[in-house]
Amino acid sequence: MDPDPSPRFADLVAVVTGAASGIGRATASRLAAEGAFVVAADIDPAIDDVVAEIVDTGGVAVAVRSDVSVRSGAEAPIDTALDRFGRVDVLCNIAGILAASHSHEVPDEQWERVIAVNLTGVFHTTRRALPALVESRGNIVMAASTSALSGHPWMLAYSASKGGVLAMTRTLAMEYARRGVRVNAVAPGGITTPMVGGLELPDDVDVSLFERISPLDEFRGPDTVAAAITFLAAPEAAHINGEVLRVDGGTLA
C-alpha cells in the first residue's frame, strides 16, 4: 500500500459490509490505503484475512464477522465502529448474494434469502448508521446493480432487491440532504468476482438474453467499482447526492 501524501479519507471512519470478497474487499482495501479507519464486515471468516492484510500494509481496520440478514448482525458493524472509533463517516453497503431461476419457479427460500440479505440487511445497517451519519455529516454508498436499471432475466428476486436498494438511495438522499448526509449508489454490470463466477443459470435458458457485450472487458475487475465507490464517498463528491453511477463499461449506454 503506497502512502498517499494527502489521503482523502484521513481520520474518517468507514464501514464496509461484504468486505471479505470481490467489490467489498477492494473497497475496504482502497479506503484503508487512503487513510480511513475501516470496519470490515462479512459473514465469511475470510474477513479476518482481509483485515490482517490491510493491517500488514499499514492500514487501520477491524473485522466484524456477522450476517446482515439478521437484524443484530446488520447492526453489529455500526456498533463496532461507534465502540472502537466513536463515529461513522462512510457506510458502504456492499454485502449481497445472487441467485438465478426461471421466474415462475423461484423457490420461496430463494426469494426470502435474497431479499433478507440484499434489501432488509441494507435497511437494518442503514437505519442503525443514520444518527451517527447525521452527527458526522457523512455519507452512504449502496451496491445496486444494472439489474435495477434494465431487464435481467432469471434474476427476479435479485433485480427486485436491487431496485429496492435504488429506491432507498433516492428516498434517503432527499430526506437527509438538509442534515448533511449524502446517499449514492453504484450500479455495476458484470464484474469478475466470485459471485458471478459461482452463478448457476437454470438449464435450457437462452443465454443471449442475458449476455450483453461490454465494450471495456479488460476493466471488469472489482477495483474499478471500488474506485467509483470511493469517489462517491469522498469529500470531493460533496455535491453529488441521490446519484446512481453505472460501472458497466457502457453496457447500458
Q: Would you say 51 or 136 has its CB closer to ligand NAD?
A: 51
Nearer to ligand NAD, 136 or 187 (CB): 187
- Least distance CB 139 / ligand NAD (angstroms): 18
Instruction: Pick the closest to residue 77 from 34, 126, 120 (CA basis).
Output: 126
Check if 158 is active-site.
yes
Question: Distance between CA 240 and CA 253 in Å, rounded?
Answer: 20
Strands across the sheet with 37-42, in order? 60-65, 37-42, 13-17, 90-93, 139-143, 182-188, 244-247
For ligand NAD, which is the closer residue by CB, 138 or 222? Answer: 222
Q: Which is nearer to ligand NAD, 94 or 173 (CB)?
A: 94
Site of grid cell 467489498: 24
Strand-pair partners of 244: 185
Q: Which of the 8 DSSP states describes residue 189? A: -
CA dihedral of residues 21, 27, 140, 41 (deg, nearest 10):
40
Where do the H-state alpha helices sit in the chain? 22-33, 47-56, 71-85, 108-115, 121-136, 156-176, 194-197, 222-233
Q: Which of 9, 85, 158, 176 is catalytic?
A: 158
Nearest to 96 by CA among 72, 130, 69: 69
CA distance 136 to 132: 6
Q: 136 or 190, CB closer to ligand NAD?
A: 190
* Interface ranges with ligand NAD (CB under 6 A): 17-18, 20-24, 42-44, 67-69, 94-98, 117, 143, 145, 188, 190-191, 193-196, 222
- Please give the Cα distance from 183 to 171 (Å, whole number): 9
Distance of CA 57 to the CA centre of its chain: 23
Active site residues: 158
